[in-house]
């Protein structure tokens, strides 16, 4: 089982993570992983698709992290806490993102979509104890945790 996390407010690079945190980036045959000091890991989902001016899907591969996947047995709290503390990242999980994928064109106004993103961010980040202080300015309060809370499941 896995859970996908979609970063929605900022774009950070692997280099920024290495330079500004104690997290490591490790490469394996199946991709790059963010690894914490407790040996928990999250897969950096590579490849981003955008639609070009002709309506064609175009894959973009770069150093920017847009999506992370946590797999069963690995505890993502330290990684998500660290990214929250250092970069004030906002994210939603795959269930919330699916809501947006299923929207019909013009079903909601942009204002309603923005409100729904905020609702999902508060809910999804709240599941691991993150509190959104200011959604618009991306101010996140990350809880202080005991070391035991970061150990692998």
Alpha-helical segments (H) within 1-153: 14-20, 77-87, 94-101, 110-126
User: What does the pLDDT look like over 64-79, one tens digit per residue?
Assistant: 899 999 998 899 999 9
What is the pTM for the complete model shown? 0.88
How many Å apart are CA 53 and CA 125, to the nearest integer?
34
In which band, very low, low, confident or very high, does the pLDDT at 135 lie, cut at 50, 70 and 90?
A: very high
What is the average per-residue pLDDT within 41-58? 82
Total count of residues recorded for the chain: 153
User: What does the pLDDT look like over 1-15, one tens digit per residue?
Assistant: 899 999 999 989 999
How many Å apart are CA 101 and CA 18, to the nearest integer?
32
Q: Strand, coil or helix: what is 59?
A: strand
How many Å apart are CA 42 and CA 146, to the nearest integer?
20
């Amino acid at each position: 089982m896995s859970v996908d996390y979609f970063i929605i407010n900022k774009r950070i690079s692997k280099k920024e993570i290495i330079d500004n945190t104690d997290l490591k980036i490790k490469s394996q045959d199946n991709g790059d992983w963010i690894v914490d000091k407790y040996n928990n890991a999250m897969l950096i989902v590579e490849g981003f698709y955008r639609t070009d001016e002709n309506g064609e899907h175009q894959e973009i591969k770069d150093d920017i992290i847009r999506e992370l996947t946590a797999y069963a047995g690995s505890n993502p709290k330290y990684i998500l806490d660290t990214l929250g503390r250092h970069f004030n990242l906002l994210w939603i999980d795959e269930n919330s993102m699916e809501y947006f994928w299923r929207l019909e064109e013009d079903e909601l106004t942009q204002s309603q979509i923005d409100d729904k993103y905020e609702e999902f961010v508060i809910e999804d980040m709240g599941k691991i104890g993150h509190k959104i202080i200011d959604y618009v300015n991306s101010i996140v309060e990350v809880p202080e945790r005991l070391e035991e809370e970061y150990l692998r499941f």
